[in-house]
Amino acid sequence: MLLDALLLQLGYNASLVAIGATLLGASAGITGTFLFLRKRALVSDAISHATLPGVGVAFLIMVAFGGDGRNLIGLLIGSAVSAGIGLWCLNWLTRNTRLAEDAAIGAVLSVFFGFGVVILTVIQSLGVGRQAGLEGFLLGSTAGMLWNDALIIAAGGAATLLVILLMRRPMTLVAFDPEYASARGISVSQIDMLMMALVMAVTVVGLKVVGLILIVALLIIPPVTARFWTERSDLVVVFAGIAGALAAFIGAALSASAPNLPTGPIIVLVSFALFALSLLFAPNRGVLAAVMRHVRFQRQVHLRQGLLALAQGQVIYEPLTLRLLRRHGLLRADGVATETGVARAAKALRDEHRWALVRADQSLEATAALYDGLREIETVLTDDQIRDLDRRIGTPREVLA
């Protein structure tokens, strides 16, 4: 069943939902990347919650004029207007009052969402027709998605991606260094507003798939996931788009294969699963990689200390140090150092004397700051400098008898 869903073999509606969700996931991941890099991730939460009053008001207006209150275009227009008003309120509070941005976000989010819930309650109490399923905009509802609905989602996502493609350079520059961008003649405020407008567009388009409450997850989790895999901003954008599209497609397929599972929440859970896998297994920034680096560092420290102990004729009691020395062929089973061990131990002790001179020489202060007990001195000093240090140390003593 799941394989059929992944291969788009479960029928027209399931395939439509999967394709529409995939396009939304890609555009949301890419758009959210710039918000994440700009350190304004919570703004998307305020924008998403600000759409709810617009949905309710648009429904009432369409019903009052005899139309279908659930017309997707009308509801999206209403949510866009409401989100735009919420965004304007957020910017006004941030710029013209002493409120910090997080406080302004909390105020806009709570007021607009509360107002929207009141409107939806009023709609339900009026008993007018065609209100069934309106609450699906809270958590998403794809069961009744039509071709026109999927086309609207695809067109909105494609338009968002086109704008990002054209404006990616100034948006990236503002996200990383707004002061430098301003010095280059880029209007930081206009680029910020463009970012917010793109987030608003993705939020409005995604209401049908994941709903206004969960769309923020689709905007933020894919960029965070992508950040584990690369240090380059352009690749973060690409990986975020892939992660968002993959999460949306798999989530839609899972929902289609088990009809009782809601599509929006499943998409968010799949996105979190990708995040968790990246957190654990990313090659450079993942938890497993960090643990392995720590283990390697500990072994290097034990090996270094073991060599210094051999050089000074000290008895080694630490089992891990003994195992490492034997594993590297530096110590025999009976505890006597091998020829290689004697040479490595003498080199380790001499390097310690060299570093001691470096740290005492003010002219080599920058080099001395690199000392960590493990770094090879040949990687930071020239051969001439090392020979000069050796002359100052004098003739090497016999390290081991």
- And the tokens for 190? 């206009």
- DSSP letters of 214-237? HHHHHHHHHHHHHHTT-S-HHHHH
Query: Can you give the pLDDT at residue 44?
Result: 80
The confidence score (pLDDT) of residue 400 equals 38
| 130 phi, psi to nearest 5 deg | 70, 15
Answer whether 210's CB lies under 8 Å from 264's CB. Answer: yes
Backbone angles phi, psi at 331, to 5 degrees: -145, 135
Of the candidates 318, 79, 374, 349, the one whose C-alpha atom is nearest the C-alpha of residue 200 is 79
Written as six digits, the tokens of 3 are: 């394989």
Q: In the block, which residue shows the tokens 């150092």?
A: 337
Domains of the chain, each with CATH number or no CATH:
2-284 (1.10.3470.10), 288-393 (no CATH)
Q: pTM to 2 decimals? A: 0.77
Nearest CA to 157 among 90, 216, 209?
209
CB–CB of 229/29 below 8 Å?
no
Burial class (CB in 10 A: 0-12, 13-18, 19+), 72: middle
Contact 240, 33 (CB under 8 A): yes
Contacts for 120 with CB less than 8 Å, ≥ 6 apart: 52, 55, 56, 134, 135
Let me know: does 239 contact 17? Beta carbons within 8 Å: no
- Please provide the DSSP assignment of 186-203 as one string: --HHHHHHHHHHHHHHHH
| Residue 11 backbone class (left: φ over 0; alpha: ψ -120 to 50; beta: rest) | left
Residue with token string 């689709």: 218
Instruction: Identify the sign of the CA torsion 159, 165, 170, 176.
Output: positive
Query: From residue 309, how far is each of 204, 206, 231, 305, 374 by CA, in Å?
Result: 67, 65, 40, 6, 15
C-beta separation of 133 from 70 below 8 A: yes
Q: CA geometry: angle at 202 spanning 199 and 203, to 5°?
A: 85
At 120 the pLDDT is 83
SS3 331: strand
pLDDT of residue 140: 64
Nearest alpha-carbon partner for 206 in 147, 274, 143, 139: 139
pLDDT at 266: 86
**Whole-number Å distance between alpha carbons of 360 and 340:** 30
Confidence (pLDDT) at 74: 84
Are the C-beta atoms of residues 232 and 17 closer than 8 Å to each other?
no
Q: How far is CA 199 from CA 20, 42, 81, 137, 290, in A?
A: 18, 11, 14, 17, 33
Residuewise pLDDT in 10s, the chain (401 residues) = 666 656 666 666 677 777 878 888 888 899 889 888 888 877 887 888 888 898 888 888 888 887 766 677 888 888 889 988 988 888 888 888 888 888 888 888 889 989 888 888 888 777 655 555 566 666 666 655 667 767 777 777 788 888 888 888 888 888 888 888 888 888 888 888 888 888 888 888 777 677 777 788 888 999 999 999 988 888 999 999 999 999 988 988 888 787 677 777 888 899 999 999 999 999 888 999 999 999 999 999 999 999 999 999 888 889 999 999 999 999 998 888 899 999 999 999 999 999 999 998 888 888 898 888 888 888 888 989 998 888 888 755 443 33
Which pLDDT does position 50 carry in this prediction?
Answer: 86
Q: Please tell me the predicted confidence (pLDDT) of residue 214.
A: 75
